[in-house]
């Protein structure tokens, strides 16, 4: 398989780290560009990006920058040692010239949707929130407009009914890395080329606002279930019970239908002892929860010590 002699990889988040880990076994980057370490957690200790952590394990040179477009030292290195391939995945920075015009492919991106659908920063979460049964992954060339560049290859991927955003990120990173390698091989052999997107069919997936993670029982149980899946692993769907925030990590809809008590009411437990809550349509079982200030636990373990009674309301 013939690939360019030099490759740079730019990325920061978990999806980018998953792709880097898979790509590196075939296309070994000589430089990884990522965001600087930031303070995080209760101790506010400096935490490297997921991409930096993977790059360190691969023993690849790491370049940390808050702004790739205005980092004069990096720009000088780029002009002197222009890589033949620049892969940008989950980077959290808009990339501009001169990087976009690098020959022969410019900047190649792996985007976890079937572009032009779900352009933006939260395509996996938005697809699950919207109850989509399928999504996909697209390898395309970056342009000045967000996620609007010409497509090299793409592939559809099924969304299983219980899959979370975290589950799908792993699956889409695996698929995206594979088709990127296969697609570039075909491109360098002159067997495929880039194709313009159908821009009139574009839809958008803006960043998730934390307020969107607040579950509304005024929705059908299927929609609440989909929101829980979309918010897992971050930021986590939540409700308020007796004034305290409870994160809901895993749920299951019940086939038995609704009860005549209004939405958000604790109606009892199922045969596993997990709590059942009424929705505008249907019922939802809370399988995996996290009370405020505590670790995740089974719904049954939480409900036994919660003091909740039938008829109490989840807000």
What's the pLDDT tens digit per position in 209-243? Answer: 999 999 999 999 999 999 999 999 999 999 999 88
On whether the pTM is more than 0.85, the answer is yes
What is the total count of domains within the chain?
Answer: 2
Same domain, 20 and 167: yes
| Residue 310 falls inside a structural domain | no
Same domain, 34 and 165: yes
Q: What is the pLDDT of residues 21-63, one digit of tens each?
A: 999 999 999 999 999 998 776 667 889 999 999 999 999 999 9
Same domain, 29 and 165: yes
The structure tokens 């394990």 sit at 57
> Of 171, 201, 231, which residue constitutes the final position of a domain?
201
Same domain, 86 and 172: yes
Provide the residue range defining the domain that includes 75: 7-201
CA-CA distances (angstroms) from residue 89 to 67, 100, 109, 173, 306?
Answer: 15, 14, 5, 10, 43
Query: Which residues fall within 8 angstroms of residue 81, CB to CB, at 6 or more apart?
Result: 6
More confident residue, 104 or 164: 164
Same domain, 138 and 286: no
Same domain, 162 and 272: no
User: Is-contact 49 40, C-beta < 8 A?
Assistant: no
180: domain CATH number is 3.40.50.170
- For the chain, give the percent of residues with pLDDT over 70: 97
Terminal-to-terminal C-alpha distance of the chain: 57
Same domain, 193 and 224: no
Same domain, 60 and 120: yes
| Residue 312 falls inside a structural domain | no
Same domain, 95 and 172: yes
| Residue 208 falls inside a structural domain | no
Q: What is the pLDDT of residues 52-102, one digit of tens each?
A: 999 999 999 999 999 999 999 999 999 998 899 999 999 999 999 999 998
């Amino acid at each position: 398989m013939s690939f360019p002699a030099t490759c740079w990889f730019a990325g920061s988040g978990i999806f980018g780290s998953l792709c880097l880990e898979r790509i590196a076994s075939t296309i070994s980057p000589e430089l990884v560009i990522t965001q600087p370490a930031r303070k995080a957690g209760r101790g506010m200790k400096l935490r490297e990006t997921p991409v930096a952590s993977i790059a360190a394990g691969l023993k690849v040179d790491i370049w940390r920058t808050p702004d790739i477009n205005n980092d004069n030292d990096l720009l000088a290195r780029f002009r002197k040692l222009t890589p033949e391939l620049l892969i940008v995945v989950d980077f959290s920075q808009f990339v501009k010239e001169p990087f976009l015009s690098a020959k022969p492919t410019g900047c190649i991106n792996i985007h976890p949707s079937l572009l032009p659908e779900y352009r933006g920063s939260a395509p996996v979460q938005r697809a699950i929130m919207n109850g989509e049964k399928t999504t996909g992954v697209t390898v395309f060339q970056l342009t000045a407009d967000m996620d609007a560049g010409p497509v090299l290859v793409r592939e559809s991927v099924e969304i299983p009914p219980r899959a979370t955003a975290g589950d799908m990120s792993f699956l889409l990173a695996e698929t995206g890395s594979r088709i990127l390698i296969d697609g570039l091989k075909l491109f360098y052999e002159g067997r495929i080329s880039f194709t313009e997107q159908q821009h009139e069919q574009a839809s958008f997936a803006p960043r998730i606002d934390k307020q969107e993670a607040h579950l509304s029982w005024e929705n059908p149980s299927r929609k609440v279930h989909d929101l829980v899946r979309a918010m897992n692993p971050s930021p986590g769907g939540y409700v308020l019970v007796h004034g305290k925030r409870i994160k809901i990590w895993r749920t299951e809809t019940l086939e038995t239908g609704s009860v005549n008590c209004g939405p958000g009411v604790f109606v009892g437990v199922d045969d596993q002892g997990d709590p059942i809550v009424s929705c505008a349509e249907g019922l939802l079982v809370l399988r995996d929860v996290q009370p405020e200030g505590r670790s995740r636990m089974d719904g049954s373990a939480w409900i036994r010590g919660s003091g909740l009674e039938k008829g109490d309301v989840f807000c």
